[in-house]
A and B are shown apart, each in its own frame.
Chain A
Amino acid sequence: MYFNLPSIGRMSSRTDDVLFGHATLLDELDRKVMVLLRDGRTLIGVLRSVDQFANLVLDRTTERIHVGKQFGDIYRGIFVVRGENVVVVGLIDEMREGTVGLQEVSVEEILEAQRQVQEARHQQEQLRVKAMKERGLTYTADLGPDDMY
């Protein structure tokens, strides 16, 4: 919804001659990007610097929390993200950013909504653990909150 296609191959004219067929984050420098992290966080910021490990420096970053059709932004400032924690990086199409159809709410609201969702999920997990225990099995969730991917 937010994304433009990143520069790959022919679409990247600057680095076309050098890296034919390769994607590079260099063409997204100084542009607004959305980064999805492994722990599920979404960051939106201006990509300032990258390196060969896909470590990122994000400027004017906001952390955007999505719950359902709503979202809330928390301003975070400058982020330095280690490359291994990045799931996807996407260029934000600022022309279409307003037409996404999501409703922005205040931070308190969205945090509350998020808390409720997590609460519900937690209760589900509890039920699951209980059911498994009754059947004599031990259940451990294989993906924790720190690494969702």
Chain B
Amino acid sequence: MSDSFFGFDTAHMSDDDLGPPDLDDDRYNSETFGADAGEWEEDDHEKISAYLERERSVLHQLGNGRAPLSVAADQLPGATDIERGLSKLVTDDELDDPCIMSVRRSSRPAGSVPIPHPQFGRPRSPPISSLLESDISGSPSANSIWSTTPTRPANAFDDPAIMSVGRPRAPPPAARLPLPAAAKVRTVEELEHDLLARSPARPPPPPGFGRGLPPPPAGPPPPMDFSRPPPMRAPPPPPGEQFRLPNTHLPPPSVTSILPPQLMNKDRGSGGAGRGLPAGRGTPSHHQHQHQHQRQHQQPHQQPQWRQDQERRRQDPYAGLMTSRERQWLLNIQRMQIKGNSDYYFQHFNSRKLSQGRRDSRGGHGRDQHKDRDDKHTDHRLYKPPEMENSLGKLQVASVTAPRKIIDLGVINQESADGSRDHKEAKRDRQTLLLIEQLYHQVMLVEGADRQAAGEPESEAESAEPAGPRLSPEEVRAAASGRLWSALSREQQLVHILAIRKGKGLVLRCLPILSSQQYYQIALTLLKHLAVVLHKDKLDNMLHKFFVCMQMVVSNSDLAQITELTAALTASTDLDSATPAKTPLQLVACSPFGVSVALLLLLRGDQLCQQQPTSGAAERWRPLAAGLTRCLSALPQLAPPLEPVPAALLAKHVPEPRLVARLVGDVGAT
């Protein structure tokens, strides 16, 4: 408990006791007031105040680095003396614990006055060296424990009630001990003030400070400080601030009347949200001096700048909890995050801002600013965020230094190990997809035109189409289907399209649009490259939808066309091959669609052939059909056809009984 926030043991300080005050704890005990208080000579207090005045002025000079004012040597303690005294202060402070103080009390020589302990103990003042060097205005979490802002302890001493009572009364020459203690009261504030004067690097106080309090009626304008850019925190101290004026010994108590009207307010809870200020941190030094010099004159009317800052700090004792170091650390983390392109949103925002900046007439200035920011972003940290495009939605892991770090995923390409070929294929597939999109657009145009022609009302999407020169539906249709066909008529392109699932859907959809001749062409191409298309269709399983189309084609074709189709089907196959299993036909025969198409062709072809047995087409047809049949029957694997074929029909047209048996057998099995 002794190491609490206040630095002394607060365990005993319970004012809630309803009982009579503990005599041991009585600050107004006999030692202070009564018989044990020691001898007071009449003008002792005058001597003391004179001495203290000198001390104060000396310290002020000391703090400003100038030689002390020329005072009578015997009266003025030398600088070294003061330092010694101040270092003694430290020692005294450390024994500030009232328990220990009572011990010291007893050990003091007779005639010396015990150092009274006010309710909240004395303010602890930091060791001199650390005061002058370190960051006193930090947070309680900073390295130095002295970096707490003074709170009630300081108040206690400034309280006029205590001042009148609690000042040590020993005659100055006799006991040096209590005097440094009394001088200490001033010196703490003096030292703080000196420190503030010494450190101009502190960010200036917010402009709102001037807003919250109306500017003082005369003298140096505190608001002048706040016109300095850049203001750290904008809003003024809220009116809800509890006003507590830590008065000094110098100004008469009437000063208190000035500020309360400005700051006092009905307060909720525990004092409202104080407008925390790192008080006086940024007040530049020359203003301090100004205030210092003019303080004598102004004292009755207002409080100097730093005093107001100190007040504010007292009112909001937790202000500045985050040190600038901690802030900088946080900023660094944020900076690290935006450096490198891991933040998708920031990159976009940045690029848009830059383009705006360039568009602005500021021109070069904008560019300079951008450059400056870039320079500031270059950070020599070890951590480099992984460069990944499409960083949206990636897995992220949070760590202390990188709260949103993207996990370095090695994307495994599942397609194949063959690098270059896959790149080409992937590229081609992408291009084909784009083409398919365009063709879909054409299809929709045609369909829209058809609907218009049929008299259906235009849908919203259609009316939203960019209205070029208003074409009639027929023109639109003609143009679109022309474009469509020009794309589909290219054999290789059609194969690519058919290799993609979406392409197959496209072809199916535009079949109603195309003419029968175009149909035929498509069917021809399909059959020619059936093996390839089948291979690609393994995952898609959409080819069977083409069967109806094939049926239509076949039923509309004459023998010559059938022959052509069959030739296309068997084009890549050596029908008389000794190893039929290795022919592309095997692949065809493995799929129901292939088998069905083959059967379709055979049946229809034979039908037509029997109708015109002597035509030239028939002559061409027969060997082809025979070869196909032979090959099919020799194939080890045969898939069942999509639709069951009646055995009688098969037997009639397919002369190969084994094949028939197999097909029928398969069908029978299903």
| A interface residues, Cβ below 8 angstroms from B | 4, 13-22, 24, 26-27, 29-32, 44-46, 48-53, 57, 59-60, 62, 73, 75, 91-95
- What CA separation (Å) do A46 and B231 show in the bound complex? 19
Q: List B246-261 residues whose CB lies under 8 Å from chain A.
A: none
Q: A30 with B316: in contact, given A60-B269, A60-B272 (CB under 8 Å)?
A: yes
B349 touches A21 (CB 8 A): yes
When distances are taken between beta carbons in the complex, the residues of chain B under 8 Å from A27 are 233
Q: A17 with B373: in contact, given A30-B320, A31-B235 (CB under 8 Å)?
A: yes
| B interface residues, Cβ below 8 angstroms from A | 203, 229-233, 235-236, 238-240, 268-277, 316, 318-322, 326-327, 330-331, 333-335, 338, 346, 349-350, 353, 372-373, 376, 398, 400-401, 403
Q: A21 with B231: in contact, given A49-B322, A52-B403 (CB under 8 Å)?
A: no
- What CA separation (Å) do A22 and B401 show in the bound complex? 18
- What CA separation (Å) do A53 and B334 show in the bound complex? 11
Chain B, residue nearest A94 (CB): B238
6 more contacts with CB within 8 A, not counting A13-B230, A50-B330, A73-B268, are: A14-B232, A18-B331, A22-B334, A31-B233, A32-B273, A59-B273
Q: Which of A32, A52, A62 contacts B333 (CB 8 A)?
A: A52
B273 touches A60 (CB 8 A): yes
B-side binding surface: helix, strand, loop or mixed? loop
Q: Which of A16, A21, A53 contacts B350 (CB 8 A)?
A: A21
B273 touches A46 (CB 8 A): yes
Task: Give chain A nearest CB distance to B419 CB in angstroms.
Answer: 39
B334 touches A46 (CB 8 A): no
When distances are taken between beta carbons in the complex, the residues of chain B under 8 Å from A48 are 318, 321-322
B373 touches A53 (CB 8 A): no
Q: Which of B236, B273, B372 contacts A45 (CB 8 A)?
A: B273
Task: Give chain A nearest CB distance to B226 CB in angstroms.
Answer: 13
A14 touches B321 (CB 8 A): no
Chain A, residue nearest B326 (CB): A49
Chain B, residue nearest A84 (CB): B398
When distances are taken between beta carbons in the complex, the residues of chain B under 8 Å from A50 are 322, 330
A18 touches B335 (CB 8 A): yes
When distances are taken between beta carbons in the complex, the residues of chain B under 8 Å from A15 are 331
Chain A, residue nearest B349 (CB): A21
When distances are taken between beta carbons in the complex, the residues of chain A under 8 Å from B334 are 18-19, 22, 24, 52
B239 touches A14 (CB 8 A): no
Task: Give chain B nearest CB distance to A68 CB in angstroms.
Answer: 21
- What CA separation (Å) do A73 and B272 show in the bound complex? 12
Task: Give chain B nearest CB distance to A48 CB in angstroms.
Answer: 4
When distances are taken between beta carbons in the complex, the residues of chain A under 8 Å from B330 are 24, 26, 50-52
Q: A19 with B331: in contact, given A46-B274, A73-B268, A73-B269 (CB under 8 Å)?
A: yes
B276 touches A18 (CB 8 A): no
- What CA separation (Å) do A60 and B265 show in the bound complex? 17
Task: Give chain A nearest CB distance to B308 CB in angstroms.
Answer: 17
Q: Which of B236, B276, B353, B373 contacts A46 (CB 8 A)?
A: B276
Q: Which of A22, A31, A57 contacts B321 (CB 8 A)?
A: A57
When distances are taken between beta carbons in the complex, the residues of chain A under 8 Å from B373 are 17, 20
The 5 A-B pairs with the shortest beta carbon distances in the complex, nearest first, are A30-B276, A13-B230, A32-B273, A94-B238, A75-B269
Chain A, residue nearest B272 (CB): A60
- What CA separation (Å) do A112 and B316 show in the bound complex? 34
- What CA separation (Å) do A92 and B276 show in the bound complex? 14
B331 touches A32 (CB 8 A): no
- What CA separation (Å) do A50 and B274 show in the bound complex? 18
Q: A30 with B275: in contact, given A17-B376, A57-B321 (CB under 8 Å)?
A: yes
When distances are taken between beta carbons in the complex, the residues of chain A under 8 Å from B277 are 30
When distances are taken between beta carbons in the complex, the residues of chain B under 8 Å from A73 are 268-269
Task: Give chain B nearest CB distance to A23 CB in angstroms.
Answer: 9
B403 touches A62 (CB 8 A): no
- What CA separation (Å) do A20 and B331 show in the bound complex? 11
When distances are taken between beta carbons in the complex, the residues of chain A under 8 Å from B400 are 52
- What CA separation (Å) do A32 and B274 show in the bound complex? 8
Q: A94 with B235: in contact, given A21-B349, A21-B350, A52-B334 (CB under 8 Å)?
A: yes
B318 touches A59 (CB 8 A): yes
- What CA separation (Å) do A105 and B307 show in the bound complex? 38
Chain A, residue nearest B237 (CB): A94
Q: Which of A45, A53, A59 contacts B403 (CB 8 A)?
A: A53
When distances are taken between beta carbons in the complex, the residues of chain B under 8 Å from A31 are 233, 235, 273, 275-276
B269 touches A21 (CB 8 A): no
When distances are taken between beta carbons in the complex, the residues of chain A under 8 Å from B349 are 21
Chain B, residue nearest A11 (CB): B234
Most chain B beta carbons < 10 A, residue from A14, A30, A48: A30
